[in-house]
Amino acid sequence: MLRTMMPTRKYSLLVLAGALILTGPALRADDTEDYIKEGLKAYKDGNYTEATKSLNYALGLINEKKADFALEALPKTIAGWEGDKGETQSLGALGGGNVVSRNYRKEEKRAQISISMDSPLVQQMMGLLTNPIFAGQAGRPRKVNGHDAIYNKENGELTMVVDNRILIKIEASDSSEEEILSLAKAINLDALRGKK
């Protein structure tokens, strides 16, 4: 009897492990809601430290999701440029928000596109970019898909703010203005704007 139970038990464990692997992403999606519920319960119970901790975890997971969407806005290939897998970084220590970036290569040329979202740093940069005196010193004004941008020829950089909350910076010091503008125009701004 024991011998016949062992294969069944192993089979059951394998099925359970497979189910957990397949539902892992779904379980993770519920983590955010779980942390919010825990935070709300702790708040109602007067445990403000635990409420803060749970809600901070939820905020971190939400920011990760927003960063994933932002990374998707950067195409893996752009007119001969090949992109890497990209990186995401939290700006929690600097007041919140995320930075995502992807490095590109076209023969011997290199470029990096970075997107900062919902950070106090974006507000500071926006103030500088909209100041005609600073903008004039920082570079020449350009339009990219209807958005104001500043192009700095000396550094091979283009900077623009989208919807007053998204800062996009392209660094490609060994590329022409046309190449940098083509990189900027390839960014899926609609995808970025849709995920608030």
In whole angstroms, how far apart are CA 74 and each of 67, 77, 87, 98, 196?
11, 9, 11, 15, 17
What does the pLDDT look like over 129-186, one tens digit per residue?
Answer: 666 666 666 778 888 888 888 899 888 999 988 887 888 999 998 899 999 999 999 9
71-75, 98-102, 119-123, 175-179: least confident range: 119-123
- Alpha carbon 192 to its chain centroid, in Å, reads 9
Q: Write down the pLDDT at residue 187.
A: 92
**CB-CB contact of 51 with 42 (8 Å):** yes
Range 48-75 burial, b when 16+ CB lie within 10 A, else e: eeebeebbebbbebebeebbeebbebbb
What is the DSSP pairing of strand 166-171 with strand 109-117?
antiparallel
DSSP state of 13: H
pTM over 0.75: no
